Amino acid sequence: LKLFSANANPQLAQEIAEYLGLSVGAAKVTRFSDGEIALAIDESVRGADVFVIQPTCGPVNEHLMELLIMIDAMRRASARRITAVMPYYGYARQERKSRARDPISAKLVANLLTAAGARRVVAMDLHASAIQGFFDIPVDHLPGVPILGEYYKNKHLENVVVVSPDLGGVTRARNLADRLGTGIAIIDKTRPEPNVAEIMNIIGDIEGKTVIMADDIIDTAGTITLGAKALLDRGAKEVHACCTHPVLSGPAIERLEQSVLKEVVITNTIPVDPARLENCSKVKVLSVAPLLG
């Protein structure tokens, strides 16, 4: 078994390797002066069971291309089996046509991975779990809920309700609620335009309760911060939030810091530069390394 990492999350690869008592394989992913990706794999992978750890987080296209090129190189170097370990699967939110002539980029990514030579995929909290079916190779789809659930169990919050910030996240919220032995409520959210969230209604009892909002992704943090405000306005006692994938683009960190949220728990499927979190005291990072390991 050999582990390799490109440039997206070497820290996570290192943690997984330590968990397994291995070291990360010798490989360097750099750039030629025109921006093309240069790859050097500095040890034999002939006959090996190779795991390439690379979330396709931003810059998504760069990290995706690094992953494809590394898989291609491993295949040409006679690896026995290549598994793409994608703690975050970029383009997962483009998994169906919602308007005429939309692309289905999540399927294109699946085709590219298979064509490059991946024979298995390990992913976490795919935005739509049906993406598993975009592949004809095995996909291990791991939820972040056990890690988040364990954290909240040890926090001993009282009178809790888990809230899904949109209709698509109800199953995830129910899984977390089952682990914590609580009920759920649901926010009815619309998107008038991409990256803009609007809260319409809250379904369920949140009055006087400690709310944990659970999402797969926090991107611009619009969904989670607007949701938190709506929940407090409608009588919740306090609001916490958690997600598996901290995309945290644009104004996200500022929004989280200025929001009414008590605490925001994220995982390290996507690395967040600690310097960006310096002025944000609310964010707590949990590691998915033991789970992936």
- Pick between residue 63 and residue 127 the one whose CB is nearest to ligand R5P: 127
- Pick between residue 13 and residue 173 the one whose CB is nearest to ligand R5P: 173
Closest approach, Cβ 16 to ligand R5P, in A, equals: 25
Closest approach, Cβ 210 to ligand R5P, in A, equals: 21
- Pick between residue 149 and residue 169 the one whose CB is nearest to ligand R5P: 169
3-state per-residue secondary structure call for 157-176: CCCEEEEECCHHHHHHHHHH
* Contact predicate 40/229, CB 8 Å: no
Q: Please state, in angstroms and rounded to a whole number, the distance separating the CA atoms of residues 113 and 90.
A: 12
Who contacts 113 (Cβ-Cβ below 8 Å, separation ≥6)? 67, 68, 71, 84, 121, 135
Residue ranges in contact with ligand R5P by CB under 6 A:
165-166, 168-169, 195, 197, 215-224
Closest approach, Cβ 149 to ligand R5P, in A, equals: 18
Tell me whether residue 229 is one of the annotated catalytic residues. no
* Binding-site residues from annotation: 34-36, 93-94, 127, 166, 191, 215, 219-223
- Parallel, antiparallel or unpaired: strands 283-286 and 264-267: parallel
- Pick between residue 87 and residue 165 the one whose CB is nearest to ligand R5P: 165
* Contact predicate 106/89, CB 8 Å: yes
End-to-end CA distance of the chain: 12
DSSP state of 59: S
Strand partners, 264: 241, 283
- Pick between residue 54 and residue 94 the one whose CB is nearest to ligand R5P: 94
- Pick between residue 17 and residue 199 the one whose CB is nearest to ligand R5P: 199
- Structure token pair of residue 256: 């989280």
Amino acid at 229: K
Per DSSP (E only), the strands in the chain are 2-5, 27-31, 37-41, 49-53, 81-86, 120-124, 139-142, 160-164, 183-193, 196-203, 210-218, 238-246, 264-267, 283-286
* Binding-site residues from annotation for Mg(2+): 127, 166
* Binding-site residues from annotation for ATP: 34-36, 93-94
Closest approach, Cβ 137 to ligand R5P, in A, equals: 25
Cis peptide before 59 (omega within 30 of 0): yes
Closest approach, Cβ 224 to ligand R5P, in A, equals: 6
Write down the catalytic residue from 28, 155, 189, 282. Answer: 189
Closest approach, Cβ 42 to ligand R5P, in A, equals: 38
Closest residue by Cα to residue 253 from 212, 289, 213, 283: 283
* Binding-site residues from annotation for D-ribose 5-phosphate: 191, 215, 219-223
Burial class, 229, CB count within 10 angstroms (exposed 0-12 / middle 13-18 / buried 19+): middle
For the annotated catalytic residues, the residue numbers are 189
